[in-house]
Amino acid sequence: MAILPIRLFGDPVLREKGRPVTKFDARLQKIADDMIETMEAAHGAGLAAPQVGLQMRMFVYDIGEGPGVVVNPELSDFSGTYIYEEGCLSLPGIYVEIERPMTVRCCYRDLDGTPHEIVADELLGRVFQHETDHCDGLFFTLRAEKEKRKEAMRAMRETLMPGEKEYIPNREARTGAARREGARVL
CATH number of the domain that residue 176 is part of: 3.90.45.10
Give the Cα separation of 176 and 143 in Å (integer). Answer: 26
- Is 42 inside any structural domain? yes
18-57 pLDDT tens trace: 999 999 999 999 999 999 999 999 999 999 999 999 999 9
Q: How many domains does the chain have?
A: 1
Which of 131, 145, 158, 172 is flagged as catalytic? 131
Three-state DSSP state, 104: strand
Q: How far is CA 85 from the centre of its chain?
A: 14
Per the model's pLDDT, the better-predicted residue between 139 and 35 turns out to be 35
- Is 25 inside any structural domain? yes
**Residue 90, domain extent:** 6-185
Mean per-residue pLDDT over the chain, rounded: 87
Confidence of residue 184 (pLDDT cuts 50, 70, 90): low
- Is 111 inside any structural domain? yes
- Is 1 inside any structural domain? no
Give the Cα separation of 34 and 42 in Å (integer). Answer: 12
Give the Cα separation of 88 and 115 in Å (integer). Answer: 28
- Is 11 inside any structural domain? yes
- Is 41 inside any structural domain? yes
Indicate if 131 belongs to the active site.
yes
Q: What is the model's pTM?
A: 0.86
